[in-house]
Structure 1
Amino acid sequence: MDQAGRTHGADQLATAAARGDLEEMRRLLDSGVDPNAVNSFGRTPIQVMMMGSPSVAELLLQRGANPNWPDPHTGSLPVHDTAREGFLDTLQVLCRGGARLDLTDQWGHLPHDLVPESNRIHLVNYLKTLED
């Protein structure tokens, strides 16, 4: 596949992940699209996925997506985004899939630093259990 084909596949997979379209994601992954392919905006599917859909994260991780690839503009990881937005189910999937909680974004924030800003105590409690 040439560069244009790879970019097109990466864009399609990222779009499907952002929409939470599992069927399209499976089709694209089965056809050989790399789960870590960078789209035309410099982001991977796991970085732009529908955060409130743990099954999207699960599929990407099962197919080899790297949960610790920082966003090129903010340094945020998917765990930062899920913590900030309060998606406990997706955060749990990412953690089981190897997401690191000790990496900071460009402002020096760890995922647990972002939770109090959104006032979601269930996330704080979950993250504390991982730290113990």
Structure 2
Amino acid sequence: MSSGDELASAAATGDAERVARLLQDGASVDAVNRFGRTPIQVMMMGSTAVAQLLLGHGANPNVQDSTGTSPLHDAAREGFLDIVRILCSFHANPHLLDMWERRPVDLARERGHQEVVAFLQSL
């Protein structure tokens, strides 16, 4: 398993201890896994500890997949306000558009996540 796969796997399962260990051992925070995605793109959305670790080690909060979806799009769509706040505190761009020309706030609004909508509109 490549270091990108290992770190992405740890991030996806919310294993903050393993993420910290891999980063400490020199894993590249923006290494792509075998599916072409970075750990921040596949992290368990409810894991604030993993988000803090990855972003604190320089993960790019504005990385977009082939559809233009960023981690902020994902967090906003699913209603993870704490993750939205953390991403924004590390300069995630709330104005990025996906391929359907939707911003993260648009996805939060579609799903009825009013706290997320209010936060993103306050930026």
Identify whether the pair has TM-score above 0.5, normalized to the shorter chain.
yes
Of 40, 59, 81, 1:88 maps to 81
Trace 1:56-95 onto structure 2 (pairs within 5 A). Answer: 56-71=50-65, 73-95=66-88
Partner residue, 1:29? 23
Of 105, 116, 126, 2:119 maps to 126
Give a deviation string over 1:53-97, Cα, whole Å, max 9, x none.
1211111000010000101x3210000000000000000000001
> Matches of 2:90 and 2:52 in 1, distance apart?
8
Percent pairwise identity: 53
Of 92, 99, 104, 1:99 maps to 92
Give a deviation string over 1:9-40, Cα, whole Å, max 9, x none.
00000000000001110111111110000111
Stretches (4+) displaced over 4 A: none
Partner residue, 2:6? 12
Structure 1 unaligned runs (5+)?
1-6
Structure 2 unaligned runs (5+)?
none
> Matches of 1:15 and 1:125 in 2, distance apart?
32
- The CA RMSD over aligned residues, in Å, is 0.9
Of 24, 34, 51, 1:40 maps to 34
Q: C-alpha displacement at 1:105, in angstroms?
A: 0.9
> Matches of 1:62 and 1:116 in 2, distance apart?
29
Structure with max Cα Rg:
1
> Matches of 1:113 and 1:31 in 2, distance apart?
39
